Amino acid sequence: MSDRVLVVVRSGALTTVQDRGRPGYAHLGVPRSGALDPPAAGLVNRLVGNPPDAAVLETTLSGCALRPRSTVTVAVGGAPSPVSVGGRPAAWGAPVVVPAGELLEVGAATAGVRGYVAVSGGIAVEPVLGSRATDLLSGLGPAPLTNGTVLPLGIPAGPPARVDGAPQPAPPAELVLRVTLGPRDDWFTAGAVRDLTRRAYRVSSASNRIGLRTEGPALERARSGELPSEGMVLGAVQVPPDGRPVVFLADHPTTGGYPVIAVVRAADLPAAAQAPPGTPVRFVPVRRR
Amino acid sequence: MRALPVGDDALLLEVSSGEEAQALHAVLLRRRAEGALTVREIVPAARTVLLDGLADPDRWAAELTASRIPRVPSRARELIELPVRYDGPDLAVVARHWGVTEREAVRIHAGSEFTVAFCGFAPGFGYLTGLPERYAVPRRATPRTAVPAGAVALAGPYTGVYPRTSPGGWQLIGTTDAVLWDHTRTPAALLTPGARVRFVPLGDT
């Protein structure tokens, strides 16, 4: 067996393989999936010299620990966390060499939610429909990591970036999500649209890769009945019967029957992926571009 | 047709019937194949088609709402035949809903031609239309925690086939050995939107 593998020593709460996902198959019922914070995943790939579509690991709050069987360059980004190699502190947000057999420990996030670990050569599990991403809704792609999982690594494409570190946005104290209203805002009362854009919501602990769930005022429907299933987009603010808005993230279902009151700008979704439960959320209406 | 903007780069095209949605979907696929329409996703559904990842949604909204879309889809697509054992645990319930015997229920279902209206719920799960409206059935009051792969099932106006074992609340009328989803195949889904489908009874059902 090749030495170009990574052994998962501690998988953490939820660590998955992610890349840029598998867009283009929604008509077959396939979610797009992919890293929830694409800029952070792209940055750690650049730091280790990987192409932007290389697969990385996405951790959730509690980090992970990994042991490569050959010497690799890694970079840890996204949610800030302590990093150590062989028990010695190492840099976060910068290329770090992990000698063969040494333990890379990514600690619990000190802020934010999702950490990203890029390894030179990328995680080389078999792609499914052009992507190595784990899709937690449909089950496509590799299963979430467990202790003892052995991950194949690809061949490094180029040298690591010659930088000491790279600036990354701090996780938000308050999550401000710009929204355009519609397509189904007419299913809600005028009061509900006001509530959405003026009142305070918080990130719910029930949030996951499928959606950012919120706690706050229930949005009142102006009409009852069911909406026939329709196509859903990334960032859709769907309102289930309990009235609490859910912002669709990468593993969202491709069709749905609950009305979408508004859509979050794609540029604001990486911050949504880094907002821990309890973070205040404000939905700010903007005009379509 | 109504064209509803969805965020900055998507359009939800809404028509008044499932057949119109299928016809509109076929028109949009043709325009994309001709190179006229550049879009990341074309997602048909019950009464709508979503265009997601569209560079100029306003122009397309104007153009599509002004153009004539046929009311019914053409029948040009291939016919897929699915061998089925009509042995589902809910066949008797469905027959009772329809007010017919089980044998007659099988005859009605196997005698209909279906169209894959859209996919959703799981990769490769198609929502097939084709049964007359009076044969719509409710979902089960309590969903099953595990419906086996290949189960042929009814809910509302739709027939579906479970691509893999999953929880489900549809009424199970039969079983097929056809492989509905195989990601190593192109296309991975056996039933893609627009395809025509017939269920062929196996054995003495």
Question: Do residue A24 and residue B45 have CB atoms under 8 angstroms apart?
Answer: no
C-alpha A166/C-alpha B127 separation (Å) is 48
The residue ranges of every structural domain in chain A are: 5-152, 175-285
The reported pLDDT for the residue numbered A234 is 98
Q: What is the pTM of this model?
A: 0.95
Confidence band of B136 (pLDDT split at 50, 70, 90): very high
Q: Which of B25, B28, B41 to mutate to test the interface with A (most CBs of A within 10 A)?
A: B41
Interstrand relation of A175-181 and A16-18 (parallel, antiparallel or unpaired): unpaired
Enumerate residues 119 to 158 of chain A having a beta carbon within 8 A of any beta carbon in chain B.
128-129, 138-140
> CA angle, corner A267, sides to A261 and A273, nearest 5?
80
C-alpha B87/C-alpha B50 separation (Å) is 37
Calculate the average pLDDT of chain B: 94
C-alpha B188/C-alpha B178 separation (Å) is 13
Give the whole-number percent of chain A exceeding pLDDT 70.
99
**Which tens digit of pLDDT belongs to each residue from A129-147?**
999 999 999 999 999 999 9
**Considering CB atoms only, which of A28, A182, A233 is closest to B52?**
A233
Q: H or E element: which one contains A257?
A: none
**Which tens digit of pLDDT belongs to each residue from A167-203?**
777 778 899 999 999 999 999 999 999 999 999 999 9
Kindly list the strands in the beta sheet with B48-54, ordered across the sheet, starting from the edge strand earlier in the chain: B2-6, B10-14, B48-54, B39-44
Chain A residues near residue B6 by CB distance under 8 angstroms: 182-183, 233, 236, 260, 263
Question: Do residue A129 and residue B188 have CB atoms under 8 angstroms apart?
Answer: yes
**Which tens digit of pLDDT belongs to each residue from A40-80?**
999 999 999 999 999 999 999 999 999 999 999 999 999 99
Task: Give yes or no for residue B76 having a pLDDT over 80.
Answer: no
Question: Do residue A255 and residue B43 have CB atoms under 8 angstroms apart?
Answer: yes
The reported pLDDT for the residue numbered A164 is 67
Q: B1: which 2 tokens? A: 């047709």
Residue A70, φ and ψ in degrees, nearest 5: -130, 165
Give the whole-number percent of chain A exceeding pLDDT 90.
91
The reported pLDDT for the residue numbered A1 is 54
**Considering CB atoms only, which of B5, B40, B118 is closest to A183?**
B5
The ipTM estimated for the assembled molecules is 0.94
Chain A residues near residue B122 by CB distance under 8 angstroms: 29, 138
The reported pLDDT for the residue numbered B203 is 75
User: Regarding the domain with residue range A175-285, which homologous superfamily does it belong to in the CATH classification?
Assistant: Cyclophilin-like (2.40.100.10)
Task: Give yes or no for residue A264 having a pLDDT over 70.
Answer: yes
Chain A residues near residue B192 by CB distance under 8 angstroms: 27-28
Contact present, A245 and A214 (Cβ < 8 Å):
yes
Angle between helices B91-98 and B102-110 (to 10 degrees): 90
**Which tens digit of pLDDT belongs to each residue from A5-25?**
999 999 999 999 999 999 999
Confidence band of A289 (pLDDT split at 50, 70, 90): confident
A183 touches chain B (CB under 8 A): yes
Count CB atoms within 10 A of the CB of residue B17. 12
Question: Do residue A29 and residue B188 have CB atoms under 8 angstroms apart?
Answer: no
Contact present, A11 and A64 (Cβ < 8 Å):
yes
Chain A residues near residue B43 by CB distance under 8 angstroms: 26-27, 231, 254-255
pLDDT higher at B155 or A171:
B155
Domains recognised in chain B with CATH numbers: 2-66 (3.30.1360.40), 79-201 (2.40.100.10)
Task: Give yes or no for residue B129 having a pLDDT over 60.
Answer: yes
Cα dihedral B117, B125, A208, A125 in deg (nearest 10): -130
Question: Do residue A29 and residue B48 have CB atoms under 8 angstroms apart?
Answer: no
Chain A residues near residue B40 by CB distance under 8 angstroms: 23-24
Calculate the average pLDDT of chain A: 95
